[in-house]
Amino acid sequence: MKYKVPIGPIHPALKEPIMITCEVQGEEITGVDVTASQNHRGVEWIGMHRNNPVQSIYLSERICGICNLCHPACLVLAVEEIAGIEVPERAQYIRVIEAELERIHSHLLWAGVAAHELGFDTLLHYTWQVREKVMDILELVNGNRVTKAIMMYGGVRRDITDDLKPKMMEMLTYYRGLFSRMAQLFLEDKTIKMRTRNIGILTKEDAYQLQAVGPTVRASGVPKDVRQDVAYFAYPDFEIKAVTPDQLTGTVVGDTYDRIVVRLLEVKQSLDIIEQALDEMPPGDIASEEKIPKLLAQIKKAEGEAIGRHEAPRGEDIHYVKLKKGLDTLYTWKVRAPTYSNIMAWRPMLMHHQIADIPIVAASIDPCMSCTNRVITAGSSGEAILGAEELHRLSVEKTRRMTP
């Protein structure tokens, strides 16, 4: 006898509204269906109809509150490419530092949530206490704990001055000192190992086929990292190599445990990047154009399309932007957040595991619904699934319509 277990959209185990329907036979999961869109707020529409491009930076930060640098980063990268806006070298370094600070805070946050999903609340509290250190640095640099408001076309809005450096170095020493303890707590603990080893396996083939991104795909042994593969910001100056779990454990299993390993190693990698960036940051301006009306005028004159890519803590984030001459808003703005690619991996991960494994496996891709929910079907009655045949029929009909 098969049953359907609905989880969500509002459920104490979920931090965000999403609907997961699992088909179970006894304790075993035999089918998984995901319904997103509860968190759709029409961000792209606002960016294309109401806001000017500078206001859209502010809006893009509110796509996701956790990785609130990656969306503005992609947007400014795309618009800068279209409008041909130069970015000073120092600003590129500050962007790198901010992006890596975000990665540290996001990965620590995730580690805490993962511990909570396993019922290990002491570790949740410990990790979140440790995380407050990076939150203090973010507040020191940006003036706010969560949203950073640092990105601007042609540079950044605030400088990292020399008097901030000692505090940041202190943070680096603090986290480096903690690394072995964190590794011991997360990787050697018997309970965590039991609950995560060989649970939620995503094979390398599945990872390729499902186009997963970020730590999810790297844990399956695919060395894919935008910071390594694409030259943007000041990243070409750093020797960044995609983190795969075999660097620490010697093997790649692609399970939940490996995803913990990858995130831990990435925190360490981020610390190294921040240290190098602080050392090598060149002097100079932090923005090529400080007057916003002038910047807006330049963007208004621009025409073309571009894609901005950035390695967010959860994986590759992409923004597609099209500008039209004389238009006050963005002509087209399309956001493809990392969770959108990773969410499909839930199915192979969850199949044939137990109901009790759903929370930790679901959390292991670090899902972010507020990033993902870009589409909504409004006012429809019932579902419509278009198969290959149906699509072919529609295509043939269109050809007939267009050729009288």
Q: How many residues bind other proteins (CB under 8 A)?
A: 40
Structure token digits, residue 207: 């990872």
CB-CB neighbours of 110 under 10 Å: 22
Beta bridge partners of 32: 22
Task: For 156, list phi and psi in degrees, rounded to 5.
Answer: -130, 170
Closest alpha carbon to 159 in 230, 91, 245, 112: 91
Tokens 């993962």 correspond to 114
- Provide the minimum distance between the beta carbon of 371 and other proteins in the complex, in angstroms, as a whole number: 9
**Residue 270: which H helix or E strand, with range?**
helix 256-280
What is the spatial distance between Cα 288 and Cα 227, in angstroms, rounded to a whole number?
23
Instruction: Read off the amino acid at residue 331.
Output: Y
Q: Alpha helix (H) ranges present in 284-366?
A: 292-301, 338-342, 346-350, 358-364
- Told to check if 337 binds other proteins by CB under 8 A, we report no
Considering only 5, 140, 146, 297, the residue that binds other proteins (CB under 8 A) is: 146
Structure token digits, residue 260: 């913990």
| Contact stretch for other proteins (CB under 8 A) within 140-148, 173-181, 248-256, 262-270 | 140-148
- Provide the minimum distance between the beta carbon of 370 and other proteins in the complex, in angstroms, as a whole number: 5
Cβ neighbours of residue 392 closer than 8 Å, sequence gap 6 or more = none
In terms of CB distance, is 7 or 306 closer to other proteins?
A: 7
**Interaction mask 247-286, other proteins, x per CB under 8 A:** ----------------------------------------
Considering only 128, 174, 179, 320, the residue that binds other proteins (CB under 8 A) is: 128
Q: Which of residues 36-55 bind other proteins (CB under 8 A)?
A: 37-43, 45-46, 50
Considering only 22, 48, 64, 210, the residue that binds other proteins (CB under 8 A) is: 64
Q: Which of residues 353-382 bind other proteins (CB under 8 A)?
A: 368, 370, 376, 378
In terms of CB distance, is 10 or 231 closer to other proteins?
A: 10
Give, in degrees to the nearest 5, the angle at Cα 110 between 109 and 112: 70
- Helix, strand or coil for residue 33? strand
- Told to check if 181 binds other proteins by CB under 8 A, we report no
- Provide the minimum distance between the beta carbon of 166 and other proteins in the complex, in angstroms, as a whole number: 22
- Told to check if 21 binds other proteins by CB under 8 A, we report no
Closest alpha carbon to 101 in 245, 294, 270, 252: 270
In terms of CB distance, is 220 or 370 closer to other proteins?
A: 370
- Told to check if 174 binds other proteins by CB under 8 A, we report no
What is the spatial distance between Cα 70 and Cα 313, in angstroms, rounded to a whole number?
8
- Told to check if 312 binds other proteins by CB under 8 A, we report no
In terms of CB distance, is 74 or 201 closer to other proteins?
A: 74
- Provide the minimum distance between the beta carbon of 6 and other proteins in the complex, in angstroms, as a whole number: 13
| Contact stretch for other proteins (CB under 8 A) within 12-20, 248-256, 265-273, 328-336 | 12-20
Structure token digits, residue 344: 């499909």
- Told to check if 95 binds other proteins by CB under 8 A, we report no
In terms of CB distance, is 139 or 290 closer to other proteins?
A: 139
In terms of CB distance, is 92 or 370 closer to other proteins?
A: 370
With beta carbons less than 8 A apart as the criterion, state whether 340 and 314 touch.
no
Considering only 34, 135, 164, 178, the residue that binds other proteins (CB under 8 A) is: 135
Q: Which of residues 98-117 bind other proteins (CB under 8 A)?
A: 109, 112
What is the spatial distance between Cα 79 and Cα 241, in angstroms, rounded to a whole number?
27
- Told to check if 69 binds other proteins by CB under 8 A, we report no
- Helix, strand or coil for residue 386? coil
- Told to check if 119 binds other proteins by CB under 8 A, we report no
Rounded alpha-carbon distances, angstroms, from residue 285 to 3, 87, 265, 277: 62, 9, 33, 16
What is the spatial distance between Cα 79 and Cα 94, in angstroms, rounded to a whole number?
19
Half-sphere CA count of 93, side-chain side, radius 13 A: 20
Considering only 66, 85, 265, 345, the residue that binds other proteins (CB under 8 A) is: 66
Instruction: Read off the amino acid at residue 159.
Output: D
- Contacts to other proteins by CB under 8 A: 9-10, 12, 15-17, 37-43, 45-46, 50, 58-59, 62-66, 68, 109, 112, 124-126, 128-129, 132, 135, 145-147, 368, 370, 376, 378
